Amino acid sequence: MYRLICTGCGKEYPGDSPAFRCGCGEPLEVLSNRGSKRFYPERQGILNCFSSFLPPLKDESSLSMGEGWTPMPRSFAFVSEFDFELYLKNESANPTWSFKDRGTYLTLLDAVEKGYKGFGTVSTGNMAASVAAYGARMGMNTTILVSKGIPSEKIRPIAIYGPRVIKVDGDYSELYRRTLETGPSKGIYFSNSDVPMRVEGSKTIAFEIYLQLGEKVPDFVIVPTSSGGNIRGIEKGFREIKEAGLSERMPVMVAVQACGCAPIHNAFDSGWEKIERVPDPSTIAHAIENPFPPSGNAVLRMLKKNGGLTLCLKDEEILEAQSRLAGEGLFAQPAAVTSVAAIKKLKELTPLKKVRIVSVITGSGLKYPSILERHSLSVESISIGDLEAAL
């Protein structure tokens, strides 16, 4: 059995502990066993490819839907000549079209192994769809808790998977905390945004980047950051690659937020020890609009320890990047494009000549179609008789 360790105070817990957070309030993570490990890229699926880096989970019920092993095409739209190399880790090619499926899959296996009959999460977007889908695949009673104000067009693509959907009138962070506390006694495994096994799922993004770059670690990895679970997982993945002796160095981790909701960036930029709640969050990048992220302090500690950076983007910058990224073939949701929108500002902070950058594109543009009304898109009209003249 693996062990868990608190990212804050370092206290250890057994892996079968029902707690996902330490008594000190900070998130737990899976304690990596040191030593030499290897990858099995010839095997199918993230669980088998990366088994030597993951806790001993088994998929006896064929619950995998082929999450992970997403493409990483090279980008040209954000790069000028003689500049750096940029790669787009396209997580929209997952079964529910966001990076969440990696962590959801591993948390589901963990839940099954621990004998839970219920599965659930607190989310209004990518995570809700992912948890609803994987819970459905297992045939579990799945509960999705969403905010009171969420519109029907956001609920339907979650509800179609058949979970119990409950709108809750109350504070989101409070709901996050209370579900983790209440879940075990109710027999519900709450696969919330930064629970330990979800962070293990995000590690696999780092492993794939390393393998897709020909067993090399990039110089920068830019990650849209909300709860903080994803960037923690990716950093942990690179840390374990280094600890396994497969690389001598770590990438600079860049946490990107929307300026209208940037609790981690605000704290990092101001040198605070802890994050502070953003009173009135406002951004078009809803998928990273968490005013008081549960892994906020853990991300702050991680960035300070490893020489990471933070940046924030304005809505106009996000829209411009969405358009420019689509203009080279990849249509991503606003939150997801912050990782490429950030490049211009990153250039101002640090020289980027001859470096290798990976931007994580966290989810599909189809997740948030109404944002397209904010783009000016032109359409012509002709009759078929005028076709030759028009072409």
Cβ proximity of 275 and 264 under 8 Å: yes
**Interactions with a second copy, residue window 249-308 (CB under 8 A):** none
Q: Report DSSP letters for 281-349, one per residue.
A: ---S-GGG--SS-TTHHHHHHHHHHHT-EEEEE-HHHHHHHHHHHHTTT--B-HHHHHHHHHHHHHHHH
CA distance 163 to 141: 7
Nearest approach, Cβ of residue 59 and a second copy (Å) = 11
**Residue 9 vs 372, nearer CB to a second copy:** 372
What is the H or E stretch that residue 118 is in?
Answer: strand 118-122
Sign of CA dihedral 9, 13, 19, 23: negative
Residue 166 interacts with a second copy (CB under 8 A): yes or no: yes
Instruction: Output the six-digit token pair for 165.
Output: 């959907």
**Interactions with a second copy, residue window 38-77 (CB under 8 A):** 42, 62, 64-67, 69-74
Sign of CA dihedral 377, 256, 127, 60: positive
Span near a second copy by CB under 8 A; candidates 195-203, 234-242, 350-358, 360-368:
360-368
Residue 177 interacts with a second copy (CB under 8 A): yes or no: no
CA distance 134 to 364: 18
**Residue 349 vs 372, nearer CB to a second copy:** 372
Region of residue 45 (phi > 0: left; psi between -120 and 50: alpha; otherwise: beta) = left
- Of 160, 272, 274, 350, the residue at the interface with a second copy (CB under 8 A) is 160
Neighbour-count burial of 316, counting CB atoms closer than 10 A to its CB (0-12 exposed, 13-18 middle, 19+ buried): exposed
Residue 378 interacts with a second copy (CB under 8 A): yes or no: yes
Neighbour-count burial of 328, counting CB atoms closer than 10 A to its CB (0-12 exposed, 13-18 middle, 19+ buried): middle
Residue 380 interacts with a second copy (CB under 8 A): yes or no: yes
Cβ proximity of 103 and 236 under 8 Å: no
- Tell me how many residues contact a second copy (CB under 8 A): 80
**Residue 145 vs 209, nearer CB to a second copy:** 145
**Interactions with a second copy, residue window 301-330 (CB under 8 A):** 322-323, 326-330
Nearest approach, Cβ of residue 259 and a second copy (Å) = 23
Residue 10 interacts with a second copy (CB under 8 A): yes or no: no
Residue 213 interacts with a second copy (CB under 8 A): yes or no: no
**Residue 1 vs 379, nearer CB to a second copy:** 379
Residue 18 interacts with a second copy (CB under 8 A): yes or no: no
Q: List beta partners, residue 144.
A: 121, 165
Residue 164 interacts with a second copy (CB under 8 A): yes or no: yes
Residue 79 interacts with a second copy (CB under 8 A): yes or no: no
CA distance 160 to 133: 9
CA distance 184 to 248: 41
Cβ proximity of 57 and 113 under 8 Å: yes
Span near a second copy by CB under 8 A; candidates 5-13, 47-55, 342-350, 382-390:
382-390
- Of 10, 23, 245, 369, the residue at the interface with a second copy (CB under 8 A) is 369
Nearest approach, Cβ of residue 334 and a second copy (Å) = 12
Nearest approach, Cβ of residue 23 and a second copy (Å) = 21
**Interactions with a second copy, residue window 110-129 (CB under 8 A):** 129
**Residue 165 vs 278, nearer CB to a second copy:** 165
Span near a second copy by CB under 8 A; candidates 25-33, 149-157, 265-273, 275-283:
149-157
**Residue 13 vs 172, nearer CB to a second copy:** 172
- Of 137, 198, 203, 232, the residue at the interface with a second copy (CB under 8 A) is 137
CA distance 364 to 388: 36
- Of 11, 34, 114, 156, the residue at the interface with a second copy (CB under 8 A) is 156
**Residue 154 vs 265, nearer CB to a second copy:** 154
